[in-house]
Amino acid sequence: MRKFLLVISTFLFCAANGMAQSFETATQAVTKMGPGWNLGNTLDAHGGKRMEDVVQSETTWGQPVTKPELMRMMKEAGFGAIRVPVTWYPHMNDAGVVDAAWMKRVHEVVDYVINEGMYCILNVHHDTGADSNYSTSWLKADETIYNNVRQRYENLWRQIANEFKGYGDKLLFESYNEMLDVKNSWCFASFAAPGQYNASIATSAYNAINSYAQSFVDVVRSTGGNNAQRNLVVNTYGSCSGGGTWNQHLKDPLKELKYPNDPAGKGHIIFQVHAYPSLVENNRNRSLASIKSEIDDMVNAWNTHLVSKGAPVILGEWGTSNVDAAVTDYDARRELMFQFCEYLVKKCKDNKVGTFLWMGLTDGSYRSLPAFSQPDLAECIAKAYHGSTFEGVYPTINDFEVAYLVKYNGDWQELNLVSAAVSLSEYKGIRVELGEVPAQGAFQIKCYGEGGKEQYIGLVASSPITTATFNRSTLGNTVSRVTLQTMKGAQEVTLKRAFLIKNDNTEVELKSFNPYWGCTVEMISVPLGVEAPAVAGRTGDERIFNLQGQQVDVVTVPGIYIKGGKKVYVDH
């Protein structure tokens, strides 16, 4: 009878918790993830204020609207996990109630990842950070601030947890991103204080980090269902990695992080750190030996101060220190960059540490195709993890015929055609090819010259091609920017190509177009050998293409298609 009652009790517990006992452990999840990637500057983009337009929010930092095909590409390249950073404050009220449209969009992107069989980490991102404006970075590592925002923070996580509580063990929640103290200190708490350390500020910061982590765990677990044992991620102070030996406090963020009290018991918590080592020292490339030594020291510190507490570690963001520079290590010292990446990924795999590269590999309009902007780096990382014989798929822009769908939301908004200095002693003009004849007075080419000088050139109203000559007497000797500007409210236009024209009449094709302000740009692509729908679509062209660029003879599934160079809804 006792055995029978035990079986019945176990069954009732499992039923009440959505069979959560079947979830894999945190260590099992980290071991199985494979290499990971961050969908950065997308759902985490923000502008310091409320933003109700979901598309505008997602694209405000220059990234296109995310497509499910992007996740399929990452999977086929050998990646097994995607971290989805999300900034929530622009989409919720003072009480922490999230806009329904925003939650729906976050849900869609999570589904893109999960539907490919990959792990997905969903977080609270730029609600933390270095901004002094607490209405944006409203989550600070400070005990007083924690007490003031606790209810709002817990309400936010209660909504997220309830939205996804039916999801399986491929979905993980991450409590907060890089949370800093009241001095916005990096490296360790109170580093930005006078004297580079203040015990009172540091103690408050570390206590607050542990309080936020505990609130996060308590709220998620309280929602029940699969959240009762979902694997949860908590970050060190500032997501600091403990790397380096130049200060005695560098390891404090690792030492001070506690394993939260977890109703699920041991085994469903993951610790997260971030690391961006420099490959340069004293204006010279570092030796590979010194880079490896730094990686070894970091991993040893994680094992000593984090894994020993009972949770595995993930490197939730990694790259090199100039990841956001105009010229990155990928551009300037690629061989050393690849050696660094290969060693870090292998070292982490050997120590059961998950790795999530920050943003590189595919960026901007490349994500619309989708294609890799750094295909060789993607292959390097995949082979470092899976082995040198691994064969992934790494599409590049050369595998597609491309046109650019530009959407303007109002008057005078601009798309960058040229965003770097051009000497008019070498170049005399620009040629722009559209996919259709523009409406009369709808667009113009705007040129930015020296000392605030500007030149405006209207597009030819009878042709999709406009050739414009730079006026040196108007602009001076240099053009710093050339844009395609709308003049008549909300407009859509398909940009096929643009060329700078040299003084000898030879042309240089421009390869990158991105919003200057107020517009979005999306690559429309098809495999080589198939006419691009935006190119083919002109007045009177009744052909219909799907969003992959394939011509559709009969529409059997209602949805968005391309007809006459425009996206349209077809229901028959």
pLDDT digits (tens, 9 = 90+) for 269-305: 999 999 999 999 999 999 999 999 999 999 999 999 9
Q: What is the pLDDT of residue 301?
A: 98
Whether residue 30 has pLDDT greater than 60:
yes
pLDDT tens per residue across span 515-543: 898 888 888 875 454 444 443 333 445 66
Q: What is the pLDDT of residue 216?
A: 98
Q: Which sequence spans correspond to the domains of the chain? A: 24-395, 401-524
How is residue 49 written in tokens?
């204020």
Taking the CA atoms of 86, 24, 350 and 246 in sequence, report the sign of the dihedral they define.
Answer: positive
pLDDT tens per residue across span 139-185: 999 999 999 999 999 999 999 999 999 999 999 999 999 999 999 99
pLDDT tens per residue across span 311-320: 999 999 999 9
Pairing label, strands 313-318, 491-502: unpaired
Q: How many CB atoms lie within 10 A of CB 214?
A: 16
How is residue 46 written in tokens?
């923000």
Q: What is the pLDDT of residue 536?
A: 37
With H, G, I as helix, E, B as strand and everything else as coil, classify residue 97. Answer: coil
Cα 122 to Cα 174: distance, rounded to the nearest angstrom:
6
> Which residues make Cβ contacts (< 8 Å) with residue 297, sequence separation at least 6?
243, 244, 245
The CATH H-level (homologous superfamily) assignment of domain 24-395 is Glycosidases (3.20.20.80)
How is residue 108 written in tokens?
């869609």
Q: How many CB atoms lie within 10 A of CB 376?
A: 14
With H, G, I as helix, E, B as strand and everything else as coil, classify residue 78. Answer: coil
Question: What's the rounded mean pLDDT across residues 72-100?
Answer: 96
Average pLDDT of the chain, as a whole number: 90
How is residue 60 written in tokens?
């405000």
User: Is the pTM value of this prediction over 0.85?
Assistant: no
How is residue 482 written in tokens?
């050339």
Tell me the longest C-alpha to C-alpha distance in the chain. Answer: 99
- % the chain with pLDDT above 70: 88
Angle at 373 between CA 369 and CA 376, to 5 degrees: 125
Q: Give the right CATH number for 401-524 from 2.60.120, 1.10.260, 3.30.190, 1.10.10.
A: 2.60.120
- Alpha-carbon dihedral of residues 84, 88, 92, 96, nearest 10 degrees? 100
Cα 19 to Cα 166: distance, rounded to the nearest angstrom:
10
Cα 365 to Cα 386: distance, rounded to the nearest angstrom:
28
Alpha carbon 546 to its chain centroid, in Å, reads 26
Backbone angles phi, psi at 206, to 5 degrees: -70, -35
Helix count (H) and strand count (E) of the chain?
A: 14, 26
